[in-house]
Chain A
Amino acid sequence: MANTTIGNSIVIEGEITSQEAIVVQGTVKGKIETSQSVFVENSATVEADVTGESVEVSGSVTGNIDAQTRVEIKAEGSMVGDVKSPRILIADGARYKGSIDMGQ
């Protein structure tokens, strides 16, 4: 699997730029930018603006998400920030605060 995985105990303060899927299990503060999907897993804390093809949030995101196709905030996920995506799914149980822009 050619994914970038940021493990549980890892803290990144800075900028991730990628052409692969990014799986965050740890902490990222700064910016995440990829042409592929971003997975913010249960254990993850993301304090960053996230740009990706699609973004799936099971952990915690503070920051804005800009997705090409889809954003999903799972039941165990929480997010504070604005979402820009043509499709968005907020599961029952998920916590979300922010504004949504689905385009036209």
Chain B
Amino acid sequence: MAKSATTIAAGTVIRGRIHGEESIELLGRVEGHVEISGSLTVDAKARADAEIQAASVFIDGIVVGNVTAEDTIHVTGKAIAAGDLTAAKIIVDDGARIRGFVKMTGAPKTRQKPSTTRATAPAATVPPAAPDQDEDEPELPSSASKRRVSVKKR
């Protein structure tokens, strides 16, 4: 049942929990929780203040909340996404406004290192270090010759 049988029109606000086995096209507003096995389209003028879980999520409007998609999250150049985005594939168009942790769960196309660890756990990506540098302290310019992956604390 992949058809988008469900449409939430521009003048409609739904507060609560929405779940189902199909796709939803959102032109209005949703507040709460959306969990569907189909795809969710958040239209240019639509807004979802919600935790979202779907096969794919296409964001052309505003989403405030965490979004998890099995396949793809696409954030267009007009969209706002404030919240964590997790999907096998995430596409962000120029102009999009994003705030949150973005994580692609699909196989990375790296040639050497897997990048599947969170950026907040840099230790996992640090190769065998010189004996004197086990600490993961922030990198100083003068010690730049030591390889450290320095990421902002969240």
Return chain A residues, CB-CB under 8 Å to B20.
7, 9-11, 26
Interface residues in B, total, Cβ within 8 A:
23
User: Quick check: is B17 within 8 A (CB to CB) of the other chain?
Assistant: yes
The answer on a CB contact under 8 Å between A10 and B6 is yes
Smallest Cβ-Cβ distance to A34: which chain B residue: B12
List chain B positions with a Cβ less than 8 A from chain A.
1, 5-22, 24, 28, 32, 36
The answer on a CB contact under 8 Å between A30 and B16 is yes
Smallest Cβ-Cβ distance to B10: which chain A residue: A2
The answer on a CB contact under 8 Å between B16 and A15 is yes
Q: Work out how many contacts link A and B, with CB atoms closer than 8 A.
A: 78
Q: Bin chain A's interface residue count.
A: 20 to 34
B128 to chain A, nearest CB (A): 53
* Binary flags per residue of A63-81, CB closer than 8 Å to B gives 1, else 0: 0000000000000000000
Return chain A residues, CB-CB under 8 Å to B14.
12, 14-17
Return chain A residues, CB-CB under 8 Å to B7.
3-5
Return chain A residues, CB-CB under 8 Å to B28.
4, 18
Seed contacts A2-B9, A9-B22; 14 additional CB < 8 Å A-B pairs = A4-B7, A7-B20, A9-B1, A10-B20, A10-B22, A11-B19, A12-B14, A12-B17, A14-B18, A19-B11, A20-B10, A20-B11, A25-B5, A26-B6
